[in-house]
């Protein structure tokens, strides 16, 4: 179980969360809903450790003071993946795997690149990639990590239909093995295809909808 209690966060004087609570069981796929500006990306960035917030964290029956303490169990695919334009796809993969401390996964990476139809683009500079190609490259690097929690900001929205199906299969496989997915979307079909549970952000709090 992954539980966040009494979450409070502000950007300077703009209060985004005030004593908000959230909890998710193993194997759940949580869709975060809320109006533009409600705080979905902010919540994902807090859970990814990119933003510091005041909160109580419980994970697998242990208490933690900071997300940093469980950071190697969390993977985050932002809506605009951070890649180096003047490195090739392959060089970006090598760079990310090095940061994530992932070894001996090159065969799995190549297999995923083939599935996502990226295998012929790996020697091209990322500056020539489309947004969907960048998303897929980053997602592949996260999928080979040994993580328990997968955070996805607007997943699938830039992916072509075949790639969406592959990604969906991978997401379901991940949660079938007990992984947790927390994602945001405004697209109803994506919400319906992925979500097992929904949370809505309203007035600085998180409410479970089902």
Ligand X SMILES: Nc1ncnc2c1ncn2[C@@H]1O[C@H](COP(=O)(O)OP(=O)(O)OP(=O)(O)O)[C@@H](O)[C@H]1O
* Residues 33-64: b if buried by 16+ CB within 10 A, e if exposed: bbeeebbbbbbbbbbbeebebebebebeeeee
Number of residues that bind ligand X (CB under 6 A): 11
**From start to end of 14-125, where are the E strands?**
14-24, 29-33, 54-59, 62-64, 74-77
Shortest Å, Cβ 79 to ligand X = 8
Q: Smaller CB distance to ligand X: residue 46 or 150?
A: 46
Give the separation between CA 209 and CA 198, rounded to whole angstroms: 5
Q: What is the DSSP letter of 72?
A: G
The sheet with strand 74-77 has its strands ordered as 74-77, 149-153, 180-184, 29-33, 197-202, 205-208
Segment interacting with ligand X (CB under 6 A) among 8-16, 86-94, 97-105, 173-181 = 8-16
Shortest Å, Cβ 182 to ligand X = 13
Q: Smaller CB distance to ligand X: residue 15 or 66?
A: 15
**First CA to last CA distance, the chain:** 17
Window 23-42: residues binding ligand X (CB under 6 A): 34, 36-42
Shortest Å, Cβ 51 to ligand X = 9
Shortest Å, Cβ 6 to ligand X = 19
Q: Is 82 in the site for ligand X (CB under 6 A)?
A: no
Q: Smaller CB distance to ligand X: residue 95 or 207?
A: 207
Q: Is 14 in the site for ligand X (CB under 6 A)?
A: yes
61 torsion bin: left (phi>0), alpha (psi -120 to 50), beta (else): left
Shortest Å, Cβ 17 to ligand X = 10
Q: Smaller CB distance to ligand X: residue 92 or 158?
A: 158
Pairing mode of beta strands 197-202, 29-33: parallel
H helix or E strand, kind and range, residue 183: strand 180-184
Window 185-204: residues binding ligand X (CB under 6 A): none
Q: Is 157 in the site for ligand X (CB under 6 A)?
A: no
Shortest Å, Cβ 108 to ligand X = 31
Q: Which residues bind ligand X (CB under 6 A)?
A: 11, 14, 16, 34, 36-42
């Amino acid at each position: 179980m992954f539980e966040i209690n009494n979450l409070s966060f502000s950007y300077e004087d703009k209060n985004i969360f005030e004593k908000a609570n959230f909890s998710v069981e193993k194997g759940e796929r949580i869709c975060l809903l809320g109006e533009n500006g409600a705080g979905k990306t902010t919540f994902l960035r807090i859970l990814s450790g990119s933003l510091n917030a005041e909160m109580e964290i419980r994970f697998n029956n242990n208490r933690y003071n900071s997300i940093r303490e469980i950071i190697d169990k969390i993977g985050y695919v932002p809506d605009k993946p951070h890649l180096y334009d003047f490195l090739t796809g392959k060089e970006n993969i090598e760079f990310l795997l090095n940061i994530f401390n992932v070894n001996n996964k090159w065969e799995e990476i190549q297999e995923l690149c083939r599935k996502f139809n990226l295998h012929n683009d790996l020697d091209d500079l990322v500056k020539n990639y489309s947004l969907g190609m960048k998303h897929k490259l980053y997602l592949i690097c996260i999928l080979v990590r040994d993580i328990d929690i997968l955070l996805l900001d607007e997943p699938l929205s830039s992916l072509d239909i075949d790639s969406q199906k592959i990604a969906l299969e991978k997401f379901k496989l991940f949660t079938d093995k007990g992984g947790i997915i927390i994602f945001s979307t405004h697209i109803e079909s994506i919400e319906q295809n992925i979500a097992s549970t929904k949370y809505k952000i309203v007035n600085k709090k998180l409410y479970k909808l089902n």
